[in-house]
Structure 1
Amino acid sequence: MLVDWFTILAQVANFLILVFLLKRFLFAPVLKAIDERENKIAHSIRSAEATMQDAEKTRDLYQEKLEDLERQKAERMQELAEQIELERQRRLAWVKSEAESESDRFRTARQTEADEFAQAFKHQLGRVVMQALERTLQDLSSQSLEQRMVERLAEKLVAHGTKDWRPPVPEGEGDPQVSIRVASTWSLLPQQRQVLESALESVWPGKGVIEYETDSSRICGLSLNWGGLQLDWSVEDYLVSLHECLDVLVTVPESKAEEQEHQP
């Protein structure tokens, strides 16, 4: 079999020409299109990655802001709770203070009322006792209570005299500035004053000047003051023990009532 080299060379040349033409006019545009497509895809990927990064940054930013808002919210809620607690404590303290003040005012008013009642009762009782003693003394001895009080004071002066008391100035030295003060609930009658003056003159002759004054605040009382010497007698003194007994009788039930009020 004969080989036609010309035909073979021609076919090879045709093949090479075809390959060149395909590469020149077909493969090159296709490869270019593929490269462009790859570039576009790569650009899209890079854009997508950049967008994802921006989205992640934005997400992180908003997440941080959200956490900051939550933290601020928690802080504000804590502050609000503390303010509410402080206000509650303040109002409770105010209510407690008002209650204690009201209780103190009530106790003070009750004590004042009790004191006024006790004082009025004591004066009334003193007057009743004085009137009873006055009538009893008049019935028994035809003397007034005031007269008997003056005589009793004079008797004590004469009985004790210089044995128990010393005048404010040495004997034999008169001192007009030192006066003897005699205070009584009633205005002493001349004869009653004479009884006291005679008793003083018999014990300390020529000593001092007697000054008389009326003290209506006491209950049927008579007192003598001269320097360190002080004598006094009053129905009020005898009413003190009675007043204390009455206080005990009134206080004990009140204490029991208060204990019952505080018991649950």
Structure 2
Amino acid sequence: MLIDWFTIVAQIINFLILVFLLNRFLYKPIVKTIKARQQEIENRWQDAEKEKKSAKNEANSYQKKQQELEEKKQEIMIQAQTKADEKYDNLVEEARQDVEQKRKTWDESLEREKAQFFDRFQEKIMQQIYKITGHVLGDLANASLEQQIINQFIHRLENLSEKERENLANSLNTTDNGLIIRSHFEISPESRNRLLSSLQQTHIYQGDNVQFMTNSDLICGIELQASDYKIAWNLKDYVEALEI
């Protein structure tokens, strides 16, 4: 059997041409299309992963923000509660202080009114005692109450302590106004002379600068003043001593 080399070579050439053509126009486009498709799928997968990661990050960020908002909310609520408590405490304290101040003011006002009432009451009592005593002494001793007060005050001057004499002398040295004698009643000229004579005889005051004045507050009493120093005798002192 003879081999037809020409035919074999021609078939080989045809096969190679066919392979080239298939590779050129069929296989390569298919492979290229497959690779392009695979790349597209890969790109989409990567994009999907990126979106997934981004979504997860956003979710984490949202969750974190939610947590921060919740914490902030709790903090604001705590601050608001604290401020409300402080405001309440301040209002309670202000109310307590206001009540305390009003109570104190009321107590002070009550004390003043009570003191004024007792002062007026005491003054009325002493005025009544003054009148009654004057009538009693006039009836029993044939002497007026004023005269008895003068006598008692002269006796007081005659029995001054050394300390009282010293204080009186020091006060006289600090003033040029002399002596002032005050009484609840008008002292008669005769009684004035008796008082002046007593001052000279006891060496309390040898001058003649002596002023006689009346003072309604000296109920049933009389006082001698030199500058800021006083020597007095009155019923009010006895009443206050009884109160003590």
CA distance in 2, matches of 1:133, 1:35: 142
Q: Which residue of 1 aligns with 2:137?
A: 137
| 1:69 alignment partner, SS class | helix
Equivalent runs, 1:22-101 vs 2, <5 Å: 31-101=31-101
Report the alpha carbon displacement of residue 100 of structure 1 after superposing the two structures with TM.
Answer: 1.1
Which whole-Å CA distance do the structure 2 matches of 1:44 and 1:213 have between them? 123
The Cα shift of 1:30 comes to 5.1
Q: Any idea what the Cα deviations from partners look like across 1:47-102, whole Å, max 9, x if unmatched?
A: 11111122123223323332332333233223222321221222122111101111
Secondary structure of the 2:223 match is strand
TM-score normalised by length of structure 1: 0.71
Residues 11-32 of structure 1 show CA distances to partners (whole Å, capped at 9, x for unaligned) of: x98xx79x95877776656545
Matches of 1:161 and 1:193 in 2, distance apart?
A: 23
Residue 160 to residue 102, structure 1, CA distance change in 2 (3 Å) = closer
Partners of 1:184 and 1:213 within 8 A in 2:
yes
Alpha carbons 1:149, 1:222 under 8 Å: kept: yes
Unaligned 5+ segments in structure 1 are 170-175, 245-264
CA deviations 1:132-177 (Å, max 9, x no partner) are 2112211211211111110222234456699x846739xxxxxx94
Alignment check: 8 A CA contact 2:165 2:204 kept: no
C-alpha deviation, 1:212, in angstroms: 0.9
What CA distance in whole angstroms lies between the structure 1 residues aligned with 2:39 and 2:22? 23
Q: How far off is 1:115 after superposition? A: 0.8
Q: Report the 3-state secondary structure (helix = DSSP H, G, I; strand = E; otherwise coil) of the residue aligned with 1:186.
A: coil
CA distance change for structure 1 residues 140 and 27 in 2, over 3 Å: closer, same or farther? same
2-structure distance, mates of 1:204, 1:55 = 118
Q: 1:110 maps to which residue?
A: 110
For structure 2, the residue ranges without an aligned partner over 5 or more in a row are none
The percent of aligned pairs where both chains have the same amino acid is 22
C-alpha distance in 2 between matches for 1:229 and 1:23 = 144
In structure 1, distance between residues paired with 2:204 and 2:50: 130
In 2, are the aligned partners of 1:182 and 1:224 still within 8 Å (CA)?
Answer: yes
Give the 3 Å change call, closer, same or farther, for CA 24–103 of structure 1 in structure 2. Answer: same
Q: Is residue 2:171 matched to residue 1:179?
A: no
- RMSD over aligned CA atoms reads 3.7
Asked if the contact 1:134–1:144 (Cα under 8 Å) also holds between the matched residues in 2, the reply is yes
Of residues 58-67 and 130-139 in structure 1, the stretch that sits farther from structure 2 once superposed is 58-67
Contact 1:180 1:208 in 2 (8 A): no
Residue 116 of structure 1 deviates from its aligned partner by 0.6
Tell me the amino acid that sits aligned with residue 168 of structure 1. A
SS at structure 1 position matched to 2:57: helix
Match for residue 169 of structure 2? 168
SS of residue paired to 2:211? strand
Cα 1:235–1:29 shift into 2, 3 Å: same
Identify the range of structure 1 (47-56 vs 225-234) with the bigger mean alpha-carbon deviation.
Answer: 225-234
| Structure 2 Cα separation of the partners of residues 37 and 161 of structure 1 | 135
Aligned to 2:192: 193
Amino acid at match of 1:238: Y
Inter-CA distance 222–65: structure 2 relative to 1 (3 Å threshold): same
Measured at CA, do residues 39 and 135 of structure 1 come closer, stay the same or move farther in structure 2, by a change above 3 Å? same
Q: Deviation per CA, 1:108-131: give whole Å up to 9, x if none.
A: 111111111111111011112212
Alignment length (residue pairs): 232
Separation in 1, partners of 2:204, 2:39: 146
Residues 206/132 of structure 1: CA separation in 2 closer, same or farther (3 Å cut): closer
SS at 1:211 equivalent:
strand
Alignment-mate amino acid for residue 243 of structure 2:
H
Does the 8 Å CA contact 1:165/1:229 hold for their aligned counterparts?
no
